[in-house]
Amino acid sequence: MSHPKLPPTTTRRLRAWWSAVVAPTRPIDRVQALISALLVVTALCALPFAAAMGTAVHERWAQRAAVESVQREPRTATLLADVPMSTAPWAGTRTAAVPARWTGADGVEREADVDAAEGSRAGERTRIWVDRTETPVPAPATAAAAVVVASVVAVISWLVACAVLGLLRAVVVSRVDRARARAWSVEWERVEPRWSHRAR
């Protein structure tokens, strides 16, 4: 009965792993290869922790979105002044505070400063958000924002962990290289006289 053969790609990967981790003959080379392998495994193990942090952030933002969606309501306000344009070429789309008027849920007209897009003119209508006291507030958080923030936190957390592990590997490799250089120097001092004697 013939045994199934591994695909060529898998075979090459196994040979590369063997050459990198097992094949080095010097103990110090094996130590360096082992440390590198452990750091890679540690980076992979950090993925669940980064995902857990993202999940926790998502839960907090989802709760915030649920609360704000109940406590905040939209209104249509009329601007009472023009919103000047920014002169900075890199400013992009920005907002500025200008006075506006709107009618509250109780039918009473109110006036207050609200954020409106630059370039808006007096008399234009804009959507604002208010709390239960009809005070202008930022727009409520959304479920989509919760997903984005949680994803960013998870990715950044894992990248930071990888950066720390990469720095640790750089320090270890630097010290191992110095130890290897010293070992080579000692070995060369031992074999150099023999080579010099043969060359004569």
- Cα separation, 177 vs 192, whole angstroms: 21
Q: What is the pLDDT of residue 1?
A: 47
**Residues 20, 35 contacting (CB under 8 angstroms):** no
pLDDT at 100: 95
Q: What pLDDT shows up at residue 176? A: 80
Q: Which residues pair with 30 in a beta bridge?
A: none
- Whether the model clears a pTM of 0.85, i.e. scores above it, the answer is no
Cα separations in angstroms, 86 against 67, 91, 194: 34, 7, 79
Q: Could you list the mean pLDDT of each consecutive 10-residue stretch along the chain, which spans 200 residues?
A: 55 58 62 83 92 95 93 94 74 79 93 90 93 93 93 96 91 82 74 60
Q: Which tokens hold the place of 127?
A: 């959507």
Which whole-number Å values give the CA distances from 50 to 45, 94, 124, 198, in the listed order?
A: 9, 33, 46, 61
Pick from 80, 39, 66: which is nearest to 169 by CA?
Answer: 39
Spatial contact of 116 and 79, defined as CB atoms under 8 Å apart:
yes
